[in-house]
Chains A and B, each alone.
Chain A
Amino acid sequence: MTRSPLRLLRRAVRAWRTSLRVKVIGSTIAVALVALVLVGTVMSATIRDGIFDQRVNTLLLESSRSASIAQSTFNASTASNGTQVQQLLNDMMSALQPGGSSDHDIFLWRSLEAGPASISVNDISTAPERGSTISDRLRAAVVGGGDEQHWQSVAIPVAGGTEPGVIVGSTVEVPVAGTFELYFLYSLAPEQQTLTFIQQVLAISSVLLVGLLGAVTWLVTRQVVRPITQAASVAERLADGHLDERLEVRGHDEVATLGSSFNAMAASLQDQIEQLAALSDVQRRFVSDVSHELRTPLTTVRMASDLIYDSRATLPPALGRSAELLAMQLDRFQSLLDDLLEISRFDAGAAILDAERHDVRALVEHTVDGMTPLSELKGVPVLVDLGEREATADIDQVRVERILRNLVANAIEHADGTVVEVTVRADHRAVAVRVRDHGVGLTREQATHVFDRFWRGDPARARTTGGTGLGLSIAQEDALLHGGRLEAWGRPQHGAAFMLTLPRRAGMPLTSSPMTITGSNVEKAAAFLASVGSAPTGGSHGPATIPDLADPEEQP
């Protein structure tokens, strides 16, 4: 309950941020409201003042006439005693208020300033209960002002509140009785009503105006915003590869110009993309055709070479060695061809990820097991740390195994007889495999080039396993295909590390890695090496065992 206004506010803020239309309509209404309030205030003040001034002028004129009539009547009077004077005053009262209507009230008071009178006359008025509205200040001003009129705005108490009024005072000379103060109290209620009515009309028309303005803005922004949102959605469709998508162009206004420019841009994009696609298609077909055309003769050569190789024992030594070289180099030729085809597939965007949920730890173990012959040949122990946490992920088993094989073989080859560490770590978003050697290492500059095609680092780092120079490039492409990444790190004389990080679920973006590439359990490796040095029996991991040349055959 308490949260809902907050949520409403948040929604409003989001609407403000995300919708041009809301922004335009909102600011239009806000500005209009401020303007209308200002104008309305000024207008109603001006009207109020105008009405008031006009009314007061009329009233002053009227009261002045009434006062002068009263004065001339008094002057002409022959009253000489108290009773007569009282009668005179009473008559005057009814004369000044014809019909006895409550249009205005009249007060005829004996002036305070006048000296003691020779006769006693009562103050009279048409509404004695409102006598309190006449302030002492006004009375003083009237008495001291001679024949002049004085007036004052007052609040007249009525049932349930007050209403505005004006009181006008002057003095009259009454025969025998002396100076009297004559006050007229006029109610401004009708004027107040008029003013209230005008203000109401103003307020209502302001609200209507704001509403109308909002509606007009809505219409206008709709006309402007709709083409924009259409253009945005079409642009999105274009980006998704629907290159035939176009904007609908109507009329010749700016919006139509935007539309036709947009369409021209889309058409030119489509042309270029199609051209490029055709070009890349041609190139891909060429590479594919070349590799196909090469494969058939290669198969024949390969089979022939294998036959000769199998019977090399019966051949003279020179021919026998030739057969061996032929077979070996054919292997290399074939892997080069395979790698070239694979790279061309990546370049053409034709590589397809065949991802299924697999246990990466099992795959790492399996791969390292498969490397036993090489690790034994090189005398390089491979230490595997699979970590505590299960590490299943949506991966293409063939590709990931290829990456791992490549990294491990690479590390063994460059380890120079030191230990190779393979570490697996996982968190809830990613699985990482790090392969670390402690060999000659890489410079920072070299580490940035290891994924380049046909890149060879230190010429001293001879390739004995017949690498094609494309292995790491392919490995990186494979990692990218998974939405993962493959990183290299190295320090001269300290070794190199490669780390593969894969998202656990297909399509999950990779934000961080469960471990750092620079880490290495050096102590562990050192301790292991020490134990190996003293007793050459090796660790418990199959691939990490010290070469046992008695049984070089057969790996699982």
Chain B
Amino acid sequence: MTPMRPRILVIDDDTALAEMIGIVLRAEGFEATMCADGDQALAAFRSAQPDVVLLDVMLPGMDGTQVCRLVREESNVSIIMLTAKSDTVDVVKGLESGADDYVVKPFKPKELVARIRARLRHTQEAVAEQLTVGDLEIDVTGHRVSRGGEPISLTPLEFDLLVALARKPWQVFSREVLLERVWGYRHSADTRLVNVHVQRLRSKIEHDPENPEIVLTVRGVGYRAGVAPQP
């Protein structure tokens, strides 16, 4: 949409790594801003207005998951966690604090760039489209979701997830397919990403997240959009 180069905020206390990431990102045509301290992360975010935030989990001062939560409170910006731990608990904690995706250290430059591009991808899509699922209206072009005229604020990733399901309400999507469509993973990856984000999406769009009517679980297979359109 904008001719401007995508802005990436890198929040990492390891200056060598941050610098290296900066080099790689600039080589790929991104604009990179650095921040080395968790306590200053929020201020850096406000001034940089980035399109994507790369956030290290282990930070001096404020912890990465806390930063993530604070950023999420005021913005739907895409957040990718950089984590050295692939243990379930840490990953899920990161995702639950609002991260869209995560990259496990050590990562390859191409991998990191692919993840960032996947998060930026939706800004390039511009097909006029209007969808309805349940009692929700989705304006795909304008990136807006509303219920009875009331707008609902979703992160780009949650929006993509909802649109992917709503476009084909008759189809059941496996977690692997969703990972490919929404996250852009070409090979099988962590299906926990899907579970956590479906929970988050439900908490925003369902009347009762415990008894979902819009994003339904198909046991043993995956998810699909609710068929009955009227509440």
Among the 9-residue stretches A51-59, A114-122, A297-305, A541-549, the one with 4 or more Cβ atoms under 8 Å from chain B is: A297-305
- CB pair B16–A292 under 8 Å, yes or no, is no
- CB pair A302–B220 under 8 Å, yes or no, is no
Interface members, chain B 45-91 (any A CB < 8 Å): 58, 84-85, 87-88
Interface flag for A81 (CB, 8 Å): no
Shortest Cβ distance from B82 into A: residue: A299
> What are the nearest 6 A-B pairs in CB distance?
A299-B106, A295-B84, A292-B84, A295-B105, A298-B106, A299-B105
Contacts of B16 in A (CB 8 A): 297, 300
Query: Given that A295-B106, A306-B109, A357-B220 are contacting pairs, would A300 and B84 also be in contact in the complex, using a CB cutoff of 8 Å?
Result: no
- CB pair B87–A350 under 8 Å, yes or no, is yes
Report the separation of the CA atoms of residues A45 and B85 in the bound assembly, to the nearest whole angstrom: 91
Which residue of A298, A307, A398 is within 8 Å of B23 (Cβ)? A307
Query: Given that A299-B107, A334-B106 are contacting pairs, would A307 and B84 also be in contact in the complex, using a CB cutoff of 8 Å?
Result: no
- CB pair B109–A307 under 8 Å, yes or no, is yes
Q: How many residues of A contact B (CB 8 A)?
A: 23
Contacts of A306 in B (CB 8 A): 108-110
- CB pair B58–A300 under 8 Å, yes or no, is no
Contacts of A103 in B (CB 8 A): none
- CB pair A292–B85 under 8 Å, yes or no, is yes
- CB pair A302–B84 under 8 Å, yes or no, is no
Interface flag for A296 (CB, 8 Å): yes
Report the separation of the CA atoms of residues A292 and B85 in the bound assembly, to the nearest whole angstrom: 7
Interface flag for B140 (CB, 8 Å): no
- CB pair B85–A296 under 8 Å, yes or no, is no
Smallest beta-carbon distance A399→chain B, Å: 13
Report the separation of the CA atoms of residues A291 and B58 in the bound assembly, to the nearest whole angstrom: 14
Smallest beta-carbon distance A396→chain B, Å: 11
Interface flag for B227 (CB, 8 Å): no
Which residue of B20, B87, B88, B188 is within 8 Å of A303 (Cβ)? B20
Interface flag for A48 (CB, 8 Å): no
Interface flag for B179 (CB, 8 Å): no
Known: A296-B17, A334-B106. 15 other contacts (CB 8 A): A292-B84, A295-B84, A295-B106, A298-B106, A299-B105, A300-B20, A303-B21, A303-B24, A303-B109, A306-B110, A307-B27, A345-B87, A352-B88, A354-B88, A397-B188
Shortest Cβ distance from B176 into A: residue: A397
Smallest beta-carbon distance A7→chain B, Å: 41
- CB pair B24–A296 under 8 Å, yes or no, is no
Interface members, chain A 274-308 (any B CB < 8 Å): 288, 291-292, 295-300, 302-304, 306-307
Contacts of B188 in A (CB 8 A): 397-398
Smallest beta-carbon distance B88→chain A, Å: 6
Contacts of B180 in A (CB 8 A): none
Shortest Cβ distance from A401 into B: residue: B188
Q: List 14 A-B contacts (CB under 8 A).
A: A288-B87, A296-B84, A298-B105, A299-B17, A300-B16, A303-B20, A303-B21, A303-B108, A307-B24, A350-B87, A352-B88, A354-B88, A397-B188, A398-B188
By a beta-carbon cutoff of 8 Å, the part of chain A in contact with chain B is: 288, 291-292, 295-300, 302-304, 306-307, 334, 345, 350, 352, 354, 356-357, 397-398
- CB pair A292–B58 under 8 Å, yes or no, is yes
Interface members, chain B 22-37 (any A CB < 8 Å): 23-24, 27
B187-231 vs A, CB cutoff 8 Å, 1 = contact: the mask equals 010000000000000000000000000000000100000000000
- CB pair B105–A296 under 8 Å, yes or no, is yes
Bin the interface of chain B by size. 20 to 34
Report the separation of the CA atoms of residues A341 and B47 in the bound assembly, to the nearest whole angstrom: 39
By a beta-carbon cutoff of 8 Å, the part of chain B in contact with chain A is: 14, 16-17, 20-21, 23-24, 27, 58, 84-85, 87-88, 105-110, 188, 220
Contacts of A307 in B (CB 8 A): 23-24, 27, 109
Contacts of A296 in B (CB 8 A): 14, 17, 84, 105
Report the separation of the CA atoms of residues A397 and B176 in the bound assembly, to the nearest whole angstrom: 12
Contacts of B105 in A (CB 8 A): 295-296, 298-299
- CB pair A356–B87 under 8 Å, yes or no, is no
Contacts of A291 in B (CB 8 A): 84
Between A288, A303, A304, A356, the greatest number of chain B beta carbons within 10 A of the residue's beta carbon is seen for A303
Shortest Cβ distance from B27 into A: residue: A307
Contacts of A292 in B (CB 8 A): 58, 84-85
Contacts of B85 in A (CB 8 A): 288, 292
Report the separation of the CA atoms of residues A29 and B74 in the bound assembly, to the nearest whole angstrom: 82
Smallest beta-carbon distance A487→chain B, Å: 27
Shortest Cβ distance from B23 into A: residue: A307
Smallest beta-carbon distance A281→chain B, Å: 14
- CB pair A304–B20 under 8 Å, yes or no, is yes
Contacts of B106 in A (CB 8 A): 295, 298-299, 302, 334
Contacts of B220 in A (CB 8 A): 356-357
Query: Given that A292-B85, A345-B87, A350-B87 are contacting pairs, would A300 and B17 also be in contact in the complex, using a CB cutoff of 8 Å?
Result: yes
Report the separation of the CA atoms of residues A298 and B109 in the bound assembly, to the nearest whole angstrom: 12
Smallest beta-carbon distance B222→chain A, Å: 11
Contacts of A352 in B (CB 8 A): 88
Contacts of B20 in A (CB 8 A): 299-300, 303-304
Report the separation of the CA atoms of residues A300 and B21 in the bound assembly, to the nearest whole angstrom: 8
Report the separation of the CA atoms of residues A300 and B87 in the bound assembly, to the nearest whole angstrom: 21
